[in-house]
Structure 1
Amino acid sequence: MWHNAVLPRLALGIRGRTAANVAFATGYARVFAGEPRWGAASGWRLGLAAAAAVLAGYGAALAVPPARKALAAAPDRAPGVSVAEWIGVHIPLGTVYSEELIFRGTLDDIAGTPLTALAFGLWHLRPARAAGDPVLPTVAATAAAGLVFGALRRKSGSATAPALLHYALNAGGAVAPRLAR
């Protein structure tokens, strides 16, 4: 409800949405006794390894001409702020911190990974519609990502591992098409 109904009705700009998401996620975790364990060494180790693999994949895609061409053709999803602000503030706080705290840091312990992954997929309904993306594939892809993120959370005992992977996917997806162009 927050991401698909309440937040859009607030009609905030990107900075306001980021602040609202951070406040909502932090409050949600406090109310439901979230345990993200951000500082766990196992989360950092596993997360950095997963993020490095994703970033290597983006690097390889940029080096292969057909993949580079496909990246260059991707629509520009810039939200009206500089790329530095987008990947330095809005992706890590408004997206990664907020979503990983809610889903892997709190809801996974309450509902289990399969239901949390489904909720994570449904969380992306409104953004898919707003971007003009096909809704069902977007929900399916983000639910599948939620399963992977949940597995990383279970394996590492920390929401840091999925957060680092999530950040690498999103920041790489913001930067790689620009580099390809």
Structure 2
Amino acid sequence: MTRVRLGRPTACVAALGVLGAAQFLRERLPRAAGVPVSVAASGALVGIARRAGAGWDELGLARGRLGRGARYGTPPALAVAAAYTAGAALPVTRPLFADARAARTLPGALRQALVDVPLGTVLLEETGFRAVLPALLREPYGTRGAEALTAALFGLWHVLPSGALRAANPALARASAGGSEPSRAATAVGNVLVTAAGGLLFGLLRRRGDSVLAPALAHSALNSFGYLAAYAVRRPAEG
């Protein structure tokens, strides 16, 4: 049976549909469903890109590029770990890490850092926004244009999650809104701008490292060490 090849515009629409469906499900299903949804959606995204003719190198998923990706992704990941350690220790920045979404037990925090983040968050977002969408958009918009578009989409992807930020981490919500007491709209705008800027940096890492592993390591560090820092900050406060 001959497989029908997708045109890249059609594939791009399909990929956005998969990402939208995954976001919808993750916001409405129990937290335990996050990893299965992410894994399934990531597989669907790669399948769409391959049907559109994207090769493993083009997607940044070639095994031969993993070493280079690790070399580019490890230094920023270590820098994030050092910055979070200092931030959680300093009184002036410690409130930024007091996030109610972090687990209250060490096993729970480790699960968030080692399972929920890499498989439930980073896998899907890096597959979608640093592998599949840039590959599908590169032909009409060029490499830099594709990176800019996917960074903007990455920022918009965080509109719904921004709703939980105000309640879970008021200090960070105020910081993202410029220091004022944020409205829901201001929190969303601040979160979109910050994550879009992060998307640009992740895109740069993807291009320099020639592998999605490079931004995935940095992205995992940002989220995973955030949960661990939040656990460390909340534990003495609650004890």
TM-score class, shorter = 0.7 to 0.9
Structure 1 position 57 matched with structure 2 position 62? no
Partner of 1:145: 198
Kept after mapping to 1: 8 A contact 2:110/2:228: no
Deviation at 1:166, TM superposition (A): 0.2
Note closer, same or farther for the CA distance 1:153–1:84 as it changes in structure 2 (3 Å cut). same
CA separation in 1, counterparts of 2:77 and 2:62? 16
Listed one character per residue, the Cα deviations across residues 115-169 of structure 1 (whole Å, up to 9, x for unaligned) are: 0001111111111124445100111111110000000000010000100000000
Measure, in 1, the Cα distance between the counterparts of 2:162 and 2:68. 33
Confirm or deny that 1:75 pairs with 2:99: yes
Q: Return the offset for 1:9.
A: 5.1
Task: Give the corresponding residue for 1:45.
Answer: 71
Q: Which amino acid aligns with 2:129?
A: F
Moved more, 117-126 or 127-136: 127-136
5+ residue gaps, structure 1, are: none
Correspondence for 1:173 among 220, 223, 226: 226
- Kindly provide the CA deviation profile for residues 29-81 of structure 1, in whole angstroms up to 9, marking residues without a partner as x: 1211362326421100110111011111112223433223x245x33113799
1:22 aligns with 39
Q: Find the counterpart in structure 2 of residue 120 from structure 1.
A: 154
For the 8 Å contact 1:4–1:126, the answer to whether it is kept is no
Which of these two proteins has the greater Rg computed from alpha carbons? 2
Q: Cα deviations across residues 94-132 of structure 1 (Å, max 9, x unaligned)? A: 101111011111112222100000111111111112444
Partner SS, residue 82 of structure 1: helix
1:121/1:141 contact within 8 Å kept: yes
Verify the 8 A CA contact 2:69 2:212 in the aligned structure 1.
Answer: yes
Is 2:120 the counterpart of 1:94? yes
* Higher RCO (Cα < 8 Å, 6 or more apart): 1
Q: Indicate yes or no: 2:48 matched with 1:31.
A: yes
**How many residue pairs align between the two structures?**
179
**Structure 1 pair 113–67 and aligned structure 2 pair: CA distance change class (3 A):** same
Paired letter, 1:154: R
Partner AA of 1:78 in structure 2: A
TM-score (normalised: structure 2): 0.68
Change (3 A) 1:6 1:59: closer
Residue in structure 2 matched with residue 158 of structure 1 by the alignment:
211
Judged with a 3 Å threshold, the aligned counterparts in structure 2 of structure 1 residues 5 and 98 are, in CA distance, closer, same or farther, namely closer
Aligned-pair identity (%): 36
Q: Secondary structure at the match of 1:107?
A: helix
Note the aligned Cα RMSD (angstroms): 2.3
SS in 2 for 1:78: coil
Alignment CA distance shift 1:121-1:79 (3 Å): farther
